[in-house]
């Protein structure tokens, strides 16, 4: 006979949860226990965010919350209500509209099975905002919270460095401006 605790008698109470995802406002009626990762995938059908370990270790579900990477499996959707969420779809949702990190991954063979990739893309996109010109060591440290079970880390680190190059070249103004003013802009 198993012990019954008070929580076993609870049924779900539903909340109207409104979250801004990739610039669009979405509302769904969900229980408080709905993880943000499941809210994105099941309720909003944004299946670009992948769910791996569901306890914060693998990093596959990483999304940007107000521009900063966080684990969507370690947040409840109800906690995301006052914040802007960006998923991998919001960074580039088709082969024609890929951001610099996604293009670097295709160029450098930065993905194999692709399961972990959305978490890497979001993590690296935010990292390059803070550090536009990382060393290889910094690139490695930046992805240390994300697991790739294909163990494709060498090419993922290459992709971080290539994405930084692509981002810097995007930021370069078409006309001749001094390198100094460009540098101060990107910081």
Partner 1 sequence: MKPGPFRYLAPASLQDAAAMLRAHADAKVLAGGQSLIPVLSMRLARPTHLVDLGGIPGLDRIEVTDAYVRVGAMVRHAQLLADEGAYAALPLLRQALVNVAHPAIRNRGTTVGSIAHADAAGEMPSVLAITDGVVEAVGPDGRREIAARDFFAGPLETTLAHDEIVEAVRFGRFPTGTRTAFRESARRHGDYALAGVAVAVTVENDRITAARASFVSVTDVPGVVDLSSVLAGADPATADWSVVDETVDAHLQPESDIHASAQYRRMLAAELTRRALAEAVAQPSTASAPGAHR
Contact between 59 and partner 1 by CB under 8 A: the answer reads: yes
* Segment contacting partner 1 by CB under 8 A, of 7-15, 94-102, 151-159, 175-183: 7-15
Q: Which is nearer to partner 1, 63 or 104 (CB)?
A: 63
Q: Give strand ranges (E) for 32-162.
A: 62-65, 68-71, 84-86
Q: Cβ distance 88 to 121 under 8 Å?
A: yes
Among 8, 45, 94, 176, binds partner 1 (CB under 8 A): 8
Minimum separation from the CB atom of position 12 to partner 1 (A): 5
**Binding pattern to partner 1, positions 106-145, x when CB under 8 A?**
-----------------x---x-------------xx-xx
Nearest of 90, 92, 81 to residue 25 by alpha carbon? 81
Helix (H, G, I), strand (E, B) or coil at 27: strand
Pairing of strands 84-86, 62-65: antiparallel
* Segment contacting partner 1 by CB under 8 A, of 40-48, 55-63, 100-108, 153-161: 55-63
Cα dihedral angle (36, 38, 40, 46), rounded to 10 degrees?
Answer: 150
């Amino acid at each position: 006979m198993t012990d019954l605790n008070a929580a076993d008698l609870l049924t779900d109470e539903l909340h109207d949860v409104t979250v801004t995802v990739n610039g669009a406002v979405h509302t769904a009626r969900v229980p408080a226990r709905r993880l943000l990762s499941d809210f994105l995938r099941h309720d909003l059908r944004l299946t670009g965010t992948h769910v791996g370990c569901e306890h914060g270790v693998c990093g596959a579900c990483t999304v940007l919350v107000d521009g900063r990477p966080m684990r969507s499996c370690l947040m409840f959707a109800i906690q995301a209500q006052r914040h802007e969420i960006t998923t991998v779809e919001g960074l580039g949702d088709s082969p024609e509209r890929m951001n610099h990190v996604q293009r670097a991954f295709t160029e450098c063979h930065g993905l194999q099975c692709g399961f972990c990739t959305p978490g890497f893309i979001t993590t690296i996109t935010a990292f390059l905002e803070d550090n536009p010109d990382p060393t290889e060591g910094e690139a490695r440290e930046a992805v240390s919270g994300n697991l790739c079970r294909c163990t494709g880390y060498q090419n993922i680190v290459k992709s971080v460095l290539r994405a930084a190059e692509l981002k810097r070249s995007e930021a370069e103004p078409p006309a001749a401006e001094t390198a100094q003013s460009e540098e101060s802009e990107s910081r």
